[in-house]
Structure 1
Amino acid sequence: MKAGYVIRDQERPHFITITVVDWIDIFTRKNYREIISNCFRFCIKNKGMILYGYVIMSNHIHLIVQSRDGKLSDLIRDFKKFTANQILAALHNEPESRREWILERFAKATETHTRNKNFQVWQYGNHAEEIFSLKFMWNKLNYIHLNPVRSGIVEKAIHYIDSSARNYADEKGVLDITLAENPVTDTRKNSEFWKYNSYED
């Protein structure tokens, strides 16, 4: 892992990317996305997670997160471990047309190391970037919320259910998150986010 992507200050918010091994598009299925959302809810309520923004794409997750307990690395580790176990359980027990292929890829990912004995769901590393200012926070929030727009999935970020874009547009989101202060509230309409999410024609 590159030195620049290590979580050094455990108390600061960070932009985190969590990626499925081999970029497998497992989150095209609703049940796997719900595993992620439910784990977010649990961590916010019980594990001291402060979630400022997120998006669940087909094969990766972006989030801006902070730990109330100053143990961000432990929080991300536990999040990845729990969701991996839940995804594997769903793969084994729920209908899945691609079960054998996905499990084969998850099993193959363990061949180069001994950390996971049977299956590996997440790539190692989190590409962590420390949030050092409100401006940088909003740069990353815009990047997160516009992911589905850039991918051609939706025309406006608020149309994508599995992200925090709705929360920042004063609508009800799937998750209750902590809203970041906007450093340019007097010129919000000029920001990239609001350009794509304005209700004006």
Structure 2
Amino acid sequence: MSRYKILNQHGINFVTITVVDWVDVFIRKSYKDIVIESLRYCQKEKGLVIYAFVIMSNHLHLVVEASDEKFPLSDVLRDFKKFTAKSILDQIKQGRKESRKKWMLERFVYRGNKTEKNQKLQLWKNDNHPMLLYTLPILMQKIRYIHANPVKAGMVVKAEHYLYSSASNYFLNTGILDVRIIESPSSWYGYVAGV
């Protein structure tokens, strides 16, 4: 049982979804694209509102809200993780070009055997580390943090240059995934963009 709980199922939450053992799954574009397509599905079919996101090599951060009363955030995240885990693991198993296939599958089998449910394979850690964002300053701090991740990791010089992040939505008005932009004083933009 997770010690981290979503306190408000329909409030704006910051969540972190992490690959077990911090395995760098998302160095491959095809695996990141599965995440993007699944988030897009959750937006369209389950009322998931995304304010910010980033996909890093072994985890993703989201600022999200479940807008449809029929779909609490915990259910949306559970279904998202279940679908993406199956899709990514299937692709790893079938991947002829995946040089890390054997090693990754061994890690995922090992972690799956350690779960309460004794799963065959486990891709995601169980916890999402949710944090309810109840004030604008806290919300903006988390969005800045998300957008700064690829810059701090040395992946890009400017946040808006990283494709798998909402930073381009905020700075260039375009992105790989639609997000709801939080309007805020312009002073925070310079910090995020590293200008």
On whether the aligned pair clears a TM of 0.5, the verdict is yes
User: Aligned partners of 2:7, 2:188: CA distance in 1, in Å?
Assistant: 32
- Amino acid aligned to 1:68: S
SS in 1 for 2:151: helix
TM-score by length of 1: 0.90
Identity level (%): 43
8 Å contact kept, 1:110–1:118: yes
Structure 1, unaligned runs of 5 or more: none
Structure 2, unaligned runs of 5 or more: none
8 Å contact kept, 1:109–1:120: yes
Superimposed CA distance per residue, residues 141-176 of structure 1 (whole angstroms, 9 cap, x where no aligned partner)? 000000011111111101111000000003311111
**What does 1:35-50 correspond to in 2, within 5 Å?**
35-50=34-49
User: Aligned partners of 2:68, 2:83: CA distance in 1, in Å?
Assistant: 19
Pair 1:7 & 2:9 matched = no
User: Aligned partners of 1:130, 1:117: CA distance in 2, in Å?
Assistant: 30
**Matching residue of 2:65:** 66
Shift of 1:32: 0.2
Shift of 1:116: 4.4
SS in 2 for 1:145: helix
Give the superposed CA RMSD: 1.5
- Amino acid aligned to 2:85: A
**What does 1:172-187 correspond to in 2, within 5 Å?**
172-182=174-184, 184-185=185-186, 187=187
Shift of 1:11: 1.1
User: Aligned partners of 1:117, 1:142: CA distance in 2, in Å?
Assistant: 36
8 Å contact kept, 1:134–1:181: no
- Amino acid aligned to 1:146: A
User: Aligned partners of 1:188, 1:73: CA distance in 2, in Å?
Assistant: 30
**Matching residue of 2:172:** 170
Q: Give the number of equivalent residue pairs.
A: 192
Structure 1 consecutive aligned stretches of length 4 or more whose deviation exceeds 4 Å? none
TM-score by length of 2: 0.93
